[in-house]
Structure 1
Amino acid sequence: MTKSRSWAARAAGLAAVFSFALTAAALPPTTATAPAVATASTAAAPVKTQKEPGQKLQTDLPGGKTVVGRTSPIHDPALIVDGDGTWYVYSTGLLNRENGGTIQIWSSSDQGTTWEYSGTIWDQIPTWIDEHFSDGELPGNLWAPEITEHNGTYYLYYSASRFGGNNSITALATNTTLDPHDPDYEWVDQGLVVSSPVSGLDPANPGKTFNAIDAGIVEDADGTPYMAIGSFWYGIFLVPIEWPTGKPVADWQSKTVNIADRFMPGNPIEAPYITEHDGYYYLFVSFDSCCRGADSTYKVAVGRATSVKGPYLDKDGRDMFGGGGSVVLDSHGAITGPGGQSVFGDYLAFHYYDGSNQAIPYFPTLGLQKINWVDGWPTFDQTVELPAVQQQPKAQAVGAGKKAAFSAAATGTPGPVAVWETSSDGGASWQQVDIQPVTRRTDEGTYRSTLELAAVSTDRDGLLVRAVFQNAHGKVSTDAVGLSVK
C-alpha cells in the first residue's frame, strides 16, 4: 500500500465517523458548546462531579479508566495535567472547518473521569496555513496535537496536511496558561516548525523523507529536547529542537535520526510518542489503519532504548527500525482500533471507535489507561467485563426539607462509573443530575455511588431515581425507585 492510498482511506474514514458532527447545525466558533451530536456519552447536558473543597478523589489502580461526560468526537488526544490538578485533552479539529476546524480542547476536574468540552484554540485556521496550501485543496481541519510545558510556557504542536500525500506541516502555538478563565490566556501562533517533503535526511538515500505530522516532544537526561514525528513513508524520525523557540536547531536535517521503520508495504506506522521511565525511553507508536470505524485495525506498539536516539528494541529484542515493536494495546470488547496515543505520567491517552455507542456506532472516543509497569514494560488491562448491578437503590420517604440518599453498586472491567438520572414524568423521560457524586471502588471490588438530594421539597414528591453504570464496553441501569416527600 502506498502512503497516498493510505491517506485517501484515512480521509474517507474520518469523513464517515465525523459525518454526524458535520451534518449537525453549525455552532458559533467562539462558543464552548460541544459538537451537536447525540452519543452514549454526550446525550445530555454536561455532567459535573460532586467534589467538596479539600476532598480527595480515589487513586486509580493500573488498568482502564472509565470516562464519562463529553468524550467524543475525540481523535488523536494529547493529554496534560495542569499544576492545579485540571486534566486537559487537546484533539484533532472537526472536518470541513466545522466549528473553525482548529484544535479542540476538553477538560476534567476530577482526575480524568468526567470530561467537558472547552472549545477550540482559535476561531479559524491561520491564514498562513491556507497560503502554504494555496496551490490546491486547503486543509479542512488541524490534526494530531501535542502539548508540553517548558519553563512556564505551554507548547502546542499541531499538523495540517492535504489528504493523499505528504505535503504536510507541523506548526506551533504557545500560551502561558491552560486556564481559559485566566486574563493572560491566549494561544499565540508561532508559525511553521517543519514541513514535508524534506530532503537532506540521509546522504546515502537522497529520497528519504517523512510526513510532517504527529509530533511528540521528549527531553533526554540532559534536558535536550527532541521532536518525534512521522507517519507511513519512511517511518518515525527524531528531530533535534531547542528551547525557548520549540523549533528545530540549525542544520537539523543532518542531525535527524530515523528511529522506526516497519519496512513493509505501506509502512503503516505513525503517531510516535516517547516517554522516559526508570532509565529507559519508551517509543509508543500506532500500527496499521485508523479511521475506518468498525474496520479499523489500529493498535499501540512499543519499544525501549537506553538513549533517546535509539535503537528501540521490543520485548523480543527486535529493532523498531526493521519491523520490531511489541503490540501492547489492541481491539477488545467495544474498543476498536485504539491508537493516536500520548502519555502523561503513568497514563496513556488514546482514541478508539466505540462499538457500545448505540446512537452513532464506532464514533471516535477518548480512552484512558493507567500504565501497569511490569518487568520494565508497559502493560494494559484488556479484560472485558460489562457492568453488572450488585446493589439496587432503595425507595426513600423523607419529610420536606430533609435529605434523601440513594446508593447503588456495580461490578465491571474497566471499573464502571455511575451517572445518576431522575424522572418527573413517571419514567417517560430522564435527565442527568447536574452534580454527580463520585463513584468509589470498595474493598470488595464493587464500585459504589451515593446520590444525596439535600433539602428536598414537596414538589419533588413522586420523583423517580436511577443510576446508569457504564464503562468502555457497555452500560446497565439500576431499577428506578421513587422519592416520597411528606
Structure 2
Amino acid sequence: MERPLSTRAAALLAAAALALVTAAAPAPAPPPAPATGDSTAVAAVAAAPAGDPVGGKTLVGETSPIHDPALVIDDDGTWYAFSTGRVNRENGGTIQIATSHDDGTTWEYAGTVWDEIPAWIDDHFSDGALPDNLWAPEVYEHDGTYYLYYSASRFGTDDSLTALATNVTLDPTDPDYEWVDQGLVVESPVSGLPGDARFNAIDAGIVEDEDGNPFMAIGSFWYGIFLVPLEWPSGKPVDGWQEQTVNIADRFVAGNPIEAPYITHRDGYYYLFVSFGACCQGADSTYQVAVGRSESVTGPYLDREGQDMYGGGGTILLEEHGAVVGPGGQSVSGDYLAFHYYDASNEEIPYFPTLGIQRLDWVDGWPVADQRVELPTVAAGPADVTVAPGAAATFTTTATGIPSPVVEWETSTDDGATWTDVAVQPRTVPGEASASADGPSAAAQGVASSTLSLAEVTAEQDGTLVRARVTNAHGATVTETATLTVVAPEP
C-alpha cells in the first residue's frame, strides 16, 4: 500500500508508465489532480438521494491521484477517503483527504492531515534517504477518538515504520479538529517474532475481536501478513507483542506479493482482505483483491475452497476488468469496498491512480463484486424546452452502463463554443427495481436517470444550450444538445 503519488504529468507520460513507488523499487510519479471546471451561475434543484445498487459505484470529481484509500463513512453522512501523500513532499507529503457529501458519488480534495512530515520521522531516517511522503493510512474510531495509522519507509527495503495520530472529530470546521501525532507504533526490521519471521511495518488495518480487544493487521511482501495485539486507549501494541504476534497470511511464492491487509467482522466471521500481485506498474499492474475468512480473529483464514491463506490461499474478489486495471490497496466500510486502480479510460493521463468503490453483495457468507463491463450509453434525452419567463425548465436524460453511470450537466451561452458545469448537479438516480422474474432489475442492469431543473428562467437565458456528460469507470459519452427557448406568452 505504500505508493507515493506524483507531481509531473510530463514525467509520467514520457515514461509511459504509472509513476508510483513500489515496495521493491522507486518509480516516476503522477501529477497532481486536475482542477475542477468553472461552474456557471445557473441554479439547479437537486433530486432526492437514492440507494446504491449492489456493484461498482461510479465516482466523479477529484478522484485522482488517490492511492491506498481508507474509506470512512461518518455519522453525519460525510464520506472520507484518506490516502497516501504525494511524492517530493508536494503539499507537505502527508496523508491526503478527499470528501464526498452526496453518498460517495462526487469527491473533492480536502487537503492534508498536516502541512509537513513530523520531524521525528526525519530523525528516524536521518542516516540515509528521507521519506518522500507518508503512506497507506488507516482510520479507526474507538470510544469517540479517531485513530489514524500511517506509514513511512525507505523504498525497496523493510526499513519502515507505522505511526499514529489521533483526533476527536473528522470535521475540519470543528474547533476541536486537530490531528495529534502520537509517534511510533511499530517499526521494522524487528526481532522476536515467532519463527524469527520478518515483516515490513507498513499497511496497517485495525480490527477488534468480539471482546473489544484491538489488533493491527500489517505487512507487505517478506513473510507476508501479521496480526499484532494492541491495547486501548493508546492504540499501540501490548507489552511483549512480538511473541504474541501471529503470521496469518503468506503465499510462499517467489517475492511473496501480498500486502494491504484489512480485516472486518460480519455475521460471525472475520474477513481478511489483501492485495495480491504487482502494484504501480500502470498498464502492467497485476494487483488483485483476495479474501479469506475465519471464526477467530487470529485465524486460520481460509478461502472458499478451504485453503489457508497462510499457505497460498485466497479467493480472488476483484481483478482487472474493462478500464479498471490493477485494483487493490483496499479498505472496507460497511458493505463498501474502497480501492485504487489504474484508469485505462483516462485519455489525458493513461493509468492515473484513481479511487474506486464497490458496494459488495454477500452470497452464502462470502463477499461478491460485480465486474461486468458496459460502456455508458445515452438511452434518452435531453429534449428542447420552451417556457415563459419566470417558469422552470426541465431536462431529463436516461443512460445505461455497468457500473450504473453518473450524469453531469453543462450549459453554453455562446452557441457551444464553451461549456460550463452547472453549479449544483442533480443526483443521478438508479432505475426503479423491476419485479420481473425474467432478469435483473433496472438498477442492476445499470439504468440511471437525471433531471436538471432550471428555476425561474429569464429572457436573457433564451438560446441557452444544455447537454450532459454520462460517465462510468470504463468510459464516457455526451448527449445531444438541447436548446432552452424562453418566450413571453401571447397577450
TM-score (norm 2): 0.90
Quickly say closer, same or farther: Cα 1:48–1:101, change in 2 above 3 A.
farther
1:187 pairs, out of 173, 179, 182, with 179
The answer as to 2:389 corresponding to 1:400 is: yes
Partner of residue 123, structure 2:
131
2:223 pairs, out of 211, 234, 241, with 234
Q: CA RMSD in A?
A: 2.1
Q: State how far apart, in whole Å, the 2-side matches of 1:455 and 1:211 are.
A: 61
Partner of residue 387, structure 1:
376
Partner of residue 321, structure 1:
310
Determine what percentage of the aligned residue pairs are the same residue: 64
Deviations 1:300-353 (A, max 9, x none): 001110000000001111110011111110000000000000001011000000
The answer as to 2:367 corresponding to 1:375 is: no
Quickly say closer, same or farther: Cα 1:231–1:50, change in 2 above 3 A.
farther
Quickly say closer, same or farther: Cα 1:173–1:9, change in 2 above 3 A.
closer
Partner letter of residue 349 of structure 1?
Answer: A
- Aligned ranges 1:273-312 → 2 under 5 Å: 273-312=262-301
Deviations 1:430-450 (A, max 9, x none): 111110001112236221100
Partner of residue 152, structure 1:
144
Asked if the contact 1:347/1:370 (under 8 Å) is kept, the reply is yes
Matched pairs, number: 457
Deviations 1:59-96 (A, max 9, x none): 11211111111111000000011111111110000111
Partner letter of residue 135 of structure 2?
Answer: W
Partner of residue 26, structure 1:
none
Partner letter of residue 281 of structure 1?
Answer: Y
Partner letter of residue 80 of structure 1?
Answer: V
Asked if the contact 2:43/2:455 (under 8 Å) is kept, the reply is no
Partner letter of residue 391 of structure 2?
Answer: K
Q: State how far apart, in whole Å, the 2-side matches of 1:252 and 1:147 are.
A: 21
Quickly say closer, same or farther: Cα 1:353–1:48, change in 2 above 3 A.
farther
For residue 457 of structure 1, report the CA deviation from its aligned partner.
1.9
Q: State how far apart, in whole Å, the 2-side matches of 1:271 and 1:45 are.
A: 38
Partner of residue 94, structure 1:
86
- Aligned ranges 1:131-280 → 2 under 5 Å: 131-202=123-194, 205-206=195-196, 208-280=197-269
For residue 254 of structure 1, report the CA deviation from its aligned partner.
0.5
The answer as to 2:104 corresponding to 1:112 is: yes
Partner of residue 8, structure 2:
none
Q: State how far apart, in whole Å, the 2-side matches of 1:213 and 1:51 are.
A: 45
Q: State how far apart, in whole Å, the 1-side matches of 2:44 and 2:119 are.
A: 42
Q: Secondary structure at the match of 2:22?
A: helix
For residue 109 of structure 1, report the CA deviation from its aligned partner.
1.0
Asked if the contact 1:14/1:291 (under 8 Å) is kept, the reply is no
Q: State how far apart, in whole Å, the 1-side matches of 2:41 and 2:313 are.
A: 42
Query: Where do 5+ consecutive residues of structure 2 fail to align?
Result: 1-18, 435-441
Deviations 1:430-485 (A, max 9, x none): 11111000111223622110001111222222211101111100111110111122
After TM superposition, the runs of 4+ consecutive aligned structure 1 residues lying more than 4 A away are 11-15, 42-52
Q: Secondary structure at the match of 1:19?
A: coil
Partner of residue 6, structure 2:
none
Partner letter of residue 413 of structure 1?
Answer: I
Asked if the contact 1:47/1:436 (under 8 Å) is kept, the reply is no
Deviations 1:256-286 (A, max 9, x none): 0000000111000000000011101000000
Asked if the contact 2:24/2:155 (under 8 Å) is kept, the reply is no
For residue 19 of structure 1, report the CA deviation from its aligned partner.
3.0
Partner of residue 416, structure 2:
427
Partner of residue 22, structure 2:
10
Q: State how far apart, in whole Å, the 1-side matches of 2:66 and 2:114 are.
A: 17
Asked if the contact 1:13/1:292 (under 8 Å) is kept, the reply is no
Q: State how far apart, in whole Å, the 1-side matches of 2:53 and 2:173 are.
A: 32
Partner of residue 437, structure 2:
none
Question: Which deviates more from structure 2 when the two are superposed, residues 292-301 or residues 439-448?
Answer: 439-448
For residue 15 of structure 1, report the CA deviation from its aligned partner.
4.4
Quickly say closer, same or farther: Cα 1:241–1:46, change in 2 above 3 A.
farther
Asked if the contact 1:396/1:483 (under 8 Å) is kept, the reply is yes
Partner letter of residue 132 of structure 2?
Answer: G
Partner of residue 361, structure 1:
350
Partner letter of residue 121 of structure 1?
Answer: V
Partner of residue 430, structure 2:
441
Partner of residue 24, structure 1:
none
Q: State how far apart, in whole Å, the 2-side matches of 1:214 and 1:15 are.
A: 19
Partner of residue 475, structure 1:
476
Partner letter of residue 102 of structure 1?
Answer: T
The answer as to 2:456 corresponding to 1:464 is: no
For residue 425 of structure 1, report the CA deviation from its aligned partner.
1.7
Deviations 1:220-258 (A, max 9, x none): 011100000000000000000011000000010010000
Q: Secondary structure at the match of 1:189?
A: strand
Partner letter of residue 10 of structure 1?
Answer: T
Q: State how far apart, in whole Å, the 1-side matches of 2:27 and 2:112 are.
A: 20
Partner of residue 71, structure 1:
63
Quickly say closer, same or farther: Cα 1:476–1:8, change in 2 above 3 A.
closer
Asked if the contact 1:49/1:438 (under 8 Å) is kept, the reply is no
Q: State how far apart, in whole Å, the 2-side matches of 1:222 and 1:9 are.
A: 38
Quickly say closer, same or farther: Cα 1:347–1:233, change in 2 above 3 A.
same
Partner letter of residue 87 of structure 2?
Answer: L
Q: State how far apart, in whole Å, the 2-side matches of 1:131 and 1:88 are.
A: 31
Asked if the contact 1:13/1:291 (under 8 Å) is kept, the reply is no
Asked if the contact 2:189/2:199 (under 8 Å) is kept, the reply is yes
For residue 14 of structure 1, report the CA deviation from its aligned partner.
7.3
Q: State how far apart, in whole Å, the 1-side matches of 2:216 and 2:44 are.
A: 39
Q: State how far apart, in whole Å, the 1-side matches of 2:25 and 2:51 are.
A: 37
Asked if the contact 1:49/1:110 (under 8 Å) is kept, the reply is no
Q: Secondary structure at the match of 2:283?
A: helix
